[in-house]
Every structure is written in structure tokens, then in C-alpha cells.
Amino acid sequence: MLYAFELSGEHEELPAAEVFACLKTEGLDFRLHTAVDQCLVVEITGKEENVEKILTGPVTDRLAMTHHILKVAGISENTPDAILQLSEAFDPSDYITEGQSFVVRAKRIKHHVDFPGELLERKVGGCIYRKGFRANLKNPDIEFRVILSEKAVFGTLLSSIDRSAYEARTPQNKPFFHPGVLMPRVARALVNLAEIKPGELILDPFCGTAGILIEAGLVGARVIGIDAQEKLVMGARMNLEAFKLDYALMEGDACRMPLKEATIDAIVTDPPYGRSAAILAESLEELYSCALNEIQRVLKPGGIAIVVSDKAASEYGEKAGLKVLNIYAQRVHRSLTRTITIFQKDNFSERIEE
């Protein structure tokens, strides 16, 4: 069965990568079918009822950079004639049952089409009405959506991501605020990219006010935070307590972490950027080098570490023995572009078996 993820436009690559990571984390058997601007269509195998229970439950609860998840009825060229032909031809029995009402919503992505969505909504709605179903614009049982990108993706709405919850957790709304931290949607996306599962242990060795740890805790992970500044550790504790999460915090040095080797399932961290930042190392270069050596030491084989920086962290990670899986750039403002580097520690047992 095909399912579409209507992506946010806040980054060209991260939203799709987050979807793939969440599907993998939830154990779904999937493959990419179609990728167009702000829409990802994925084929997922398995019993439809079970797949949709996972999509509307844990996947919806985890995603940060997706707006909606759709059950796909068809894909066509993005012209009115092609879309109407698709809506006339599709079999509604898998998408709407007798007696249910419906509404049609069209979403134009950027400038990929030059015709109004409202006119298309009425025409597609007419096709469905003629199949024997009743329209209800205010309180429908089923919402059909047409995503108008380089292709047109037509389907029914399965679930919507509550992005307002992320807005409610902005740094200014937490008990302790400190400037220069990641916004909750970005922090959650990075936690998802780390493929952390409920009950597993995630570490942030530069935890600051615990923004990353909060997002990890909210998906069910156990969290550990370390920071060199006592004030930030106290603030992190206030924020974590506000969300009633399972956590451990310590004031300490990311270059000398009091943790046993290979005990952490995943690491997501946003080290200090500026040279004026309060750090224990003599320079940022030394900080990155020794911290990534420690990250490699405490991470379990096969575990993922994500480092956000204003410079390429890949060389430091590779010298520490970590493998670079991907590097993303995120422009914050004119003078700051974040580099998001995704590392993985070699799974030595798998390599020996091969």
C-alpha cells in the first residue's frame, strides 16, 4: 500500500530523512516510491490495519517536519485533466464507506501549478459525489487531499502532526531560558534521525537547557545530560522536571565523561559554537576532537551520534573512528549555517560475521 507524507518546507532534506528514520525505528518494511517537492510517497508492506495503526500512532506522535500522512489513492501529472481523470477512475471502496461524508482539500506546493486549488476541490468533489457519497465541508468523516507538486498525489487523510505542540515548547515557554538553543522541531527531528527507541538510553554531552533531552524523553527514551556550566545543569533540571521525564544530569566535561564504554544507544548534541563560549578545552578544535573520541567510546556498536556545529565535525569524528552517514546544512541566518553530521559507530560483531 502507498502512503504519502506531506512534508514541511523548512529544509530540503531533513523532513524526508526524518520520515525514513521513523519508519525504520518502528520496524516497518518500506521502500521509496515517489519523491517530489514537499511530498514523499512510500510503499509499506504488511497488514494494512497494522501498518496504519503504527502510522497514526507512534509515527504521527514522533514526526516534527511533516504536516500530514495520507493513504494514497493515486498519482498523476499535475494538470487538472489528469487529476480529474484519476478521481473519476479510482475505486472509493478502500478509502470511504457507504454513509460517510467527505471533503476535498487541495494543497499547492510553491509554484508547481498555476491554477486555483478551490476550483479543483469542487471538481474532484463532484467526481466523488457522483460515486454516491455526500459532501460535508464543515464536519466530514473523510478528508481527501490533493497535493499539487511536480506530480499530483491524491489520497485520504490518515493523520495530522500536532505542530502546535512544538510551538508550545519553544525555549521562551520553558521554566528556564537560555538563548542560542535549537528549536523543538529541529531537536525532535534530530532525535528521530538517531533512531532512538522507547526505553533506550540517549546522551547529550553538551545538554545546555535540555531541549534535545526533552524531545528524546517525550518519545520514551531515557536521557542523560552533561554540561560544563552549573547554571545550565540547574536550568536543564527545571525544564526536565516540568515535563516529568526520566533523566540523569551531571555537571562535567564532555571530554572526560564518567560513563562506561559502549553503554549509550544514541547521542545527539549541539556543542558550543563561538570561541567565547565557556568550555573546559583550550580551543574549539580540541573540544571537538576529544569530545568525539569520548562519544565514540561510550556509544554502543551500531549506535548513531548526531553532532550539530558551525563547522564540519566529520574530520574529528572520522579520526575518532566513527563513520559519517550523512551531512546536512541548515541556514539559520546570514552569519550562521548549522552543519548536522550523522555518525555511526561500527558494529564490530556484524563485521566479523561477514
H-run or E-run covering 156:
strand 151-160
**Does the pLDDT value for residue 352 go beyond 70?**
no
Sheet holding 66-77, edge to edge: 29-36, 39-45, 2-7, 66-77, 151-160, 142-148, 101-108, 134-135
Please state which of the ranges 206-210, 297-301, 332-336, 338-342 shows the lowest mean pLDDT. 332-336
pLDDT digits (tens, 9 = 90+) for 285-317: 888 999 999 999 999 999 999 999 987 799 999
Taking the C-alpha atoms of residue 354 and residue 345, their distance in angstroms, rounded to an integer, is 17
Q: Does the pLDDT at position 350 exceed 60?
A: no
Give the span between the Cα atoms of 29 and 304, in whole angstroms: 21
Distance of alpha carbon 181 from alpha carbon 301, whole angstroms: 29
Q: Do residues 320 and 347 lie in contact, with contact meaning Cβ atoms separated by under 8 Å?
A: no
**Range 266-288 average pLDDT:** 75
* 2 closest CA partner among 204, 188, 153: 153
Contact 266, 303 (CB under 8 A): yes
- Helix count and strand count (H, E) for the chain: 12, 15
Q: What is the pLDDT of residues 183-216, one digit of tens each?
A: 999 999 999 999 999 999 999 999 999 999 999 9
**pTM for the model:** 0.94
- In sequence order, what are the residues at sequence separation of 6 or more whose Cβ sits closer than 8 angstroms to the Cβ of residue 115? 80
- Which neighbouring-strand residues pair with 44? 30
Go through 33-61 and write b for each residue having 16 or more CB atoms within 10 A of its CB, e for each that does not.
ebbbbbbbbbebeeeeeebbebbeebbbe
Domains of the chain: 2-160 (3.30.2130.30), 169-353 (3.40.50.150)
